[in-house]
């Protein structure tokens, strides 16, 4: 079994699944059903970026189906206890029908949390239970600035947390709508004008849709440690 390549870019587009459905197939010569692998979409009119976003969502769906125990262990870790190696170990080509996945670990991380949040939301809508762990994100926690990767991740999640506080319904739509669908793109467009309010004055930020979706999905899934309200002092 070859490990899926976790490198600079996301390649190999595939079709997007219905949320929460366990899609299965049988390997050649076997009648035993296994979680369905990602496949390249032959839909016309898709941009390379849209195909890549669909690939990421489909690959994450298959990964959760095939490796629920490992994904659960990742979800049980706090932000500062996760690193790229956790996602390199989870990803492998068993979830590709052919070709290879090439992506940054950050993309894999976000896609897995998005998939978990979608499944938990659907379970709630159906009146079901959800037992997988979720460790709350505390944006006030001290971060070792020498750890550049962690500082970047915490900064991204803090930004996402702010966006969610200001635009809860729109952010949920971004994460819950099918990847690269017209509905999700409309949610991204509706959210875009509100991103600046979560940036320090004079700063700009440019994030790809999968990176922003992944950060929003992780914060939505984890939940956050409530920010302390300012203590009012009575004038005596």
Judge contact between 135 and 222, C-beta under 8 A.
yes
Range 179-188 average pLDDT: 97
> Which of 135, 155, 128 has its CA nearest to residue 81?
135
Exposed / middle / buried, residue 61 (Cβ in 10 Å: 0-12, 13-18, 19+): buried
pLDDT tens-place string over residues 189-224: 999 999 999 998 777 778 999 999 999 999 999 999
The pLDDT assigned to 92 comes to 77
Q: What are phi and psi of 35, to 5 degrees?
A: -55, 135
Nearest to 38 by CA among 87, 90, 88, 99: 99
Encode burial over 143-154: b for 16+ CB neighbours within 10 A, e otherwise. beeeeeebeebb
State residue 35's pLDDT score.
74
Average pLDDT, the chain: 83
Per-residue pLDDT tens digits for 104-126: 999 999 999 999 999 999 999 99
pLDDT 10s digits, 49-88: 999 899 899 999 999 999 999 999 999 999 999 999 999 9
Indicate if the pLDDT at residue 149 is higher than 50. yes
Domain ranges of the chain: 24-222
What's this model's pTM, rounded to 2 decimal places?
0.84
14 has a pLDDT exceeding 50 = no
Nearest by Cα to 215 from 177, 158, 176: 158
Instruction: Identify the pLDDT of residue 22.
Output: 57
Distance of alpha carbon 169 from its chain centroid, rounded? 17
Q: Provide the pLDDT for residue 25.
A: 59
Q: Which of 67, 63, 41 is nearest to 52 (CA)?
A: 41
CA distances from 25 to 35, 48, 125, 146, 162 (A): 6, 26, 27, 46, 41
Is the pLDDT assigned to residue 17 strictly greater than 70? no
Nearest of 184, 154, 144, 228 to residue 19 by alpha carbon: 184
What pLDDT shows up at residue 18? 38
> In the prediction, which pLDDT does 235 show?
46
Q: pLDDT (tens digit, 9 = 90+) per residue, 23-39?
A: 655 455 454 556 777 67
Q: List residues bridging with 137 in a β-sheet.
A: 224
Q: What is the mean pLDDT of residues 157-167?
A: 97
Q: Band of the pLDDT at 1, cuts 50, 70, 90? A: very low
């Amino acid at each position: 079994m070859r490990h899926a390549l976790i490198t600079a870019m996301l390649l190999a587009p595939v079709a997007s699944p219905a949320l929460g459905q366990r899609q299965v197939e049988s390997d050649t010569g076997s009648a035993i059903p296994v979680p369905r692998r990602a496949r390249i979409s032959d839909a016309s009119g898709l941009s390379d970026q849209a195909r890549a976003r669909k690939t990421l969502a489909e690959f994450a769906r298959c990964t959760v189906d095939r490796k629920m125990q490992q994904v659960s262990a990742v979800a049980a870790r706090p932000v500062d206890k996760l690193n790229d190696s956790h996602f390199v170990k989870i990803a492998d080509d068993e979830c590709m029908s052919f070709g290879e996945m090439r992506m940054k670990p950050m993309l894999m991380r976000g896609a897995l949390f998005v998939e978990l949040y979608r499944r938990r939301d659907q379970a709630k809508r159906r009146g079901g239970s959800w037992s997988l762990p979720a460790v709350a994100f505390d944006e006030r926690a001290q971060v070792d600035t020498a750890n550049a990767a962690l500082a970047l991740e915490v900064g991204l999640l803090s930004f996402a947390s702010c966006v969610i506080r200001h635009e809860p319904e729109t952010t949920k739509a971004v994460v819950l709508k099918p990847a690269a669908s017209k509905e999700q793109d409309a949610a991204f467009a509706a959210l875009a004008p509100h991103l600046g309010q979560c940036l320090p004055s004079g700063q700009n930020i440019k994030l790809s849709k999968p990176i922003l979706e992944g950060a929003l999905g992780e914060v939505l899934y984890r939940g956050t440690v409530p920010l302390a309200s300012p203590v009012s002092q009575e004038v005596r």
